[in-house]
């Protein structure tokens, strides 16, 4: 919804809202049984909750659109993912807890293998091992540019982050990745004066990097994409009038929450610790975003059984989540990650909202098929926040 | 839908449309039985109708948005409630059958109690009795201002309407209500030159009123809000090509209908008389808006049983409504008013459309859960009018 309207309707209250995101929640049925992960998994607590909750399916971005983690979460926080598009470079930086400043342009980097004729023969340098990659990053850090500081951070395997730090840099810079083997890396180009300055620095960096990496085959080249500055998002606490905390183990989700203006609380130990920290910080915040990664990780690995186990593990924490006594408890997913596809997908995502003001639907369990019968039907994920505000009695009446 | 498109598609016909609005129709289940008012109520005629009608749930304004009566009705008449926002002052004036002219700025007034230090100690003056309030209004009528005529009308208990009538008055005037006890009333301020003129008159009025009311404790002060001029709405008969009549007992709903360009027909006697007047005026109009208030009144009072009775009472009129022989008969609500909440709510509202061209869904009864199974699903209330036009064979084909 329009943020000005949200601010106008928002009214103070003492109610608490919890959003649990089970990453990659939705799945697909296996042909052998025609049961999805959620249908197969042993999740009695979620099933019980679904009967008297408002349930439905969220459409993360749009019909047929498979979201990345950024848009998937931002939509649940109330941001229209078509309007608020976080650059890949920023997401990678945020994902390794790198603090981006206002003079920084970040890019996602991949080591690649260059053939003798300068064309790319492997776009991921044989998925070079993380420790070797880290040593190569140290070599890249020695590169000096006139006009910007060069910061390079390893991520994992062939992936790294490049940050150029300097005044007057733009981020409308084209990729250097030709996206196919047999082609040479493309020179970066800028769409405006500030970005042309960045592009010139990028091209100088690439040339020096290729010299530095000459004897480092298979990782003797690199490509860069997703150039982006730290975005100025409207801040979640100001839009909704909620003091907001994020409880996530993985840096990328903490980073996303910080972009939105939430306070990221340390909880490396997983769900047990996340719930404990929510309880400890109960009085300091009105909204808690709790992130659970294992469902997505298993889905991405194409491991149907492990995804079922991840669902069952989360289910065991549901009584403790309910015990916290939030006025609104939501169980959602940022997107589907069917084990069958071993990847994110576009399919709508099961969603559940528990409060005192729930209207029942016909759902008897918490899964893709039963959520179709719920009182919320299929609806855009950006509508989750206004719904939560209403159930928390934090929106005043519209019009007389 | 876009009004220009509506005008383009609208074609003459002799068909008749009836919209019955059961105010505050939707509810919530009581935990004891998990049955809502509509599930509990004895409404055999509506249940029978629902089986072969197109049913669904309307979203009055947007997800999580609790509408006032104004936006709730305007949406059912086809007006986007985000675009057409009727000021509180106008709604109050319209609600007491006050005829607003083009030079008028109306405001909602509340008598309040002022402590010795000038701060508000009771925002509703102990809900001062209506007859006392009427006498105080007579005192306020004696106030003279230079530049505008002062018109004051009692409403009920602590509420009244102030109308300033004069040339060149604007309505972008801020409230004088601090919204909390322990604070003094705020001086009004205008956002433009014309509204600054109004604000100055308002502040002069308030000062004189406080002098006039000095010995009238607990109603020794007042606050004013919702300053608004009579809005120029696109007119319903021109948009849809329908001669439209409103049959409502309460002035506010007649007033809303008049804002939209409908003809308000007198029918103080309630449903029996409303149906009789529809029959008498059958040939003079194409569209009849019939308003039923008792469902909302019981819901607002938090009286679950009385809301059930109000539903059952309406149900007894359904055969007579069907006997009128309209081509399209709709049963709708402007918003939900669950007895559980004793207030308007954001929950979608059961809706039923009966015509010769209905596609059945799976609904077996007329209530919140069964309407989920209907052929219309959940849909925005502004789509009711295009649907009605289609079923009345009053829209021509779009495109060749």
Domains of chain A from N-terminus onward:
3-86+233-391 (3.40.720.10), 90-228 (no CATH)
The predicted structure's pLDDT at residue A400 = 74
Check CB contact of B278 with chain A, cutoff 8 Å: no
Q: What is the pLDDT of residues A350-379, one digit of tens each?
A: 999 999 999 988 999 999 999 999 999 999
Report d(CA A95, CA A87) in Å as an integer: 12
Question: Does the distance separating the beta carbons of A400 and B226 come in below 8 Å?
Answer: yes
CB contact under 8 A, B68 and A389: no
Contacts of B369 in chain A (CB under 8 A): 359-362, 375
- Alpha carbons within 13 A on the beta-carbon side of B315: 20
For the whole model, what pTM was predicted? 0.90
Contact A398 B81 (CB under 8 A): yes
Task: Tell me whether B220 touches chain A (CB under 8 Å).
Answer: no
Q: Do B64 and A395 touch (CB under 8 A)?
A: yes
Put simply, the answer to whether A359 touches B29 (Cβ < 8 Å) is yes
**pLDDT tens sequence across B263-298:** 999 888 899 999 999 999 999 999 999 999 999 999
Give pLDDT tens digits for A121-179.
999 898 889 999 999 999 999 999 998 999 999 988 899 999 999 999 999 999 999 98
Above 80 in pLDDT, residue B90? yes
Q: What digits encode the pLDDT tens for the residues A266-304? A: 898 899 999 999 999 999 999 999 999 999 999 999 999
A contacts of B70 (beta carbons < 8 Å): 399-400
Summarised one tens digit per residue, pLDDT across range A60-89 is 999 999 999 899 999 999 999 999 988 889
Q: How confident is the model at residue B95 (pLDDT cuts 50, 70, 90)?
A: confident
- Residue A62 CA to residue A315 CA, distance in Å, equals 28
User: Is the per-residue pLDDT at B206 higher than 90?
Assistant: yes
- Contact criterion met (CB < 8 Å) for B369 and A387: no
The CA distance from A53 to A361, in Å, is 8
Contact A400 B369 (CB under 8 A): no
Alpha carbon distance B101, B99 (integer Å): 6
pLDDT at residue A352 in the model:
98
CB contact under 8 A, A398 and B63: no
What is the per-residue pLDDT for A97?
A: 85
Q: What is the pLDDT of residue A268?
A: 85
Per-residue confidence at B127, pLDDT binned at 50, 70, 90?
confident
In this complex, how many residue pairs, one in chain A and one in chain B, have their CB atoms less than 8 Å apart? 93
Calculate how close chain B gets to A220, using CA atoms only, in Å: 53
User: Per residue in B293-312, pLDDT tens?
Assistant: 999 999 999 999 999 999 99
Using the beta-carbon criterion (under 8 Å), do B61 and A358 form an inter-chain contact? no
Arithmetic mean of pLDDT over chain B: 95
CA distance A16 to chain B (A): 16
Ranges of beta strands (E only) in chain B are 17-22, 54-59, 104-114, 120-122, 149-156, 159-165, 221-228, 244-247, 263-264, 287-292, 328-332, 349-354, 377-380
Interface pTM (ipTM) of the complex? 0.88
* Residue that wins the pLDDT comparison between A97 and A240: A240
Interchain proximity A390–B65, CB inside 8 Å: yes
pLDDT of residue B53: 96
Quick check: A398 and B66 CB within 8 A? yes
Check CB contact of B91 with chain A, cutoff 8 Å: yes
Site from B62, B63, B87 to mutate, A interface, most A CB atoms within 10 angstroms: B63
Output the pLDDT for position B252: 85
Interface check A396 vs B, CB under 8 A: yes
Distance from CA of B65 to the nearest CA of A (A): 7
- Alpha-carbon gap: A382 to the closest alpha carbon of chain B (Å): 10
* Average pLDDT value for chain A: 95
With contacts defined as CB-CB under 8 Å, which chain A residues touch B61?
398-399
Q: What are all long-range contacts of A80-87, with beta carbons under 8 Å and residues at least 24 apart?
A: A80/A382, A81/A382, A84/A231, A84/A233, A86/A228, A86/A231, A86/A256, A86/A259, A87/A171, A87/A226, A87/A227, A87/A228, A87/A229, A87/A231
**Pair B40, A371: CB distance under 8 Å:** no
Q: Closest approach of chain A CAs to the CA of B370, in angstroms?
A: 9
Instruction: Give the pLDDT of residue B126.
Output: 87
Query: Quick check: B68 contacting A, CB < 8 Å?
Result: yes
Task: Render B230-296 in DSSP notation, one character per residue.
Answer: PP-PPPHHHHH---EEEE-SSHHHHHHHHHTTPEEPP-TT-HHHHHHHHHHTTTT-SEEEEEE-HHH
Tokens found for residue A214: 């000459």
CA-to-CA distance for B295 and B312, rounded, in angstroms?
Answer: 10
A-chain residue closest to B376, CA distance = A377
* Residue pointed to by tokens 């925005």: B380
Interface of A with B in 357-386 (CB under 8 A): 357-362, 373, 375, 377, 379, 383, 385-386
Give B81's contacts in chain A (Cβ within 8 Å). 398-399
Mutation for testing the A interface, residue in B341, B368, B372 having most A CBs under 10 Å: B372
**Percentage of chain A exceeding pLDDT 70:** 100
Q: What is the pLDDT of residues B112-124, one digit of tens each?
A: 999 999 999 998 8
Under an 8 A CB cutoff, do B346 and A390 touch?
yes
CA distance A210 to chain B (A): 54
Look at residue B19 and tell me whether its pLDDT is greater than 90.
yes
- Contact: B88, A400; criterion CB under 8 Å: yes
- Which among A359, A390, A398 has CB closest to B71? A398
């Amino acid at each position: 919804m329009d943020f000005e309207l949200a601010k106008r309707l928002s009214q103070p209250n003492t109610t608490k809202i919890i959003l649990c995101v089970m990453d990659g929640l939705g799945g697909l049925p296996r042909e052998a049984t025609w049961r999805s992960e959620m249908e197969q998994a042993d999740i009695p607590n979620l099933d019980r909750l679904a009967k008297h909750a408002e349930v439905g399916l969220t459409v993360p971005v749009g019909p047929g659109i498979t979201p990345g983690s950024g848009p998937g979460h931002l939509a649940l926080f109330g941001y229209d993912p078509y309007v608020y598009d976080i650059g890949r470079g920023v997401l990678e930086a945020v994902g390794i807890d790198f603090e981006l400043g206002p003079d920084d342009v970040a890019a996602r980097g991949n080591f690649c293998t260059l053939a003798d004729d300068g064309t790319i023969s492997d776009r991921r340098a044989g998925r070079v091992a993380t420790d070797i990659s880290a040593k190569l990053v140290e070599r890249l850090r020695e590169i000096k540019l006139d006009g910007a500081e060069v910061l390079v951070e390893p991520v994992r395997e062939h992936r790294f982050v490049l940050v150029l730090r300097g005044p007057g840099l733009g981020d409308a810079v084209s990729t250097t990745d030709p996206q196919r083997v047999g082609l040479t890396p493309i020179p970066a180009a800028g769409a405006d004066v500030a970005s042309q300055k960045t592009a010139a620095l990028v091209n100088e960096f690439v040339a020096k990097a290729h010299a530095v990496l000459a004897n480092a085959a298979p990782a003797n080249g690199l490509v860069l994409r997703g150039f982006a500055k730290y975005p100025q998002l409207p801040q979640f606490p100001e839009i909704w009038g909620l003091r907001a905390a994020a409880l996530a183990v993985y840096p990328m989700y903490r980073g996303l929450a910080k972009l939105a203006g939430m306070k990221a609380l340390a909880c490396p130990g997983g769900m047990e610790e996340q719930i404990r920290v929510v309880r400890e910080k109960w009085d300091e915040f009105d909204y808690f975003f709790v992130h659970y990664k294992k469902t997505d990780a298993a889905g991405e690995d194409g491991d149907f059984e492990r995804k079922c186990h991840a669902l069952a593990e989360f289910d065991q924490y549901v009584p403790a989540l309910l015990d916290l006594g939030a006025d609104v408890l939501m169980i959602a997913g940022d997107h589907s990650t069917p084990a069958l596809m071993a990847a994110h997908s576009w399919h709508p995502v099961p969603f559940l909202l528990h409060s005192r003001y729930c209207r029942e639907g016909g759902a008897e369990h918490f899964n893709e098929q039963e959520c179709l019968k719920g009182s919320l039907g299929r609806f855009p994920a950006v509508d989750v926040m206004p719904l939560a505000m209403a159930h928390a009695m934090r929106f005043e009446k519209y019009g007389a």
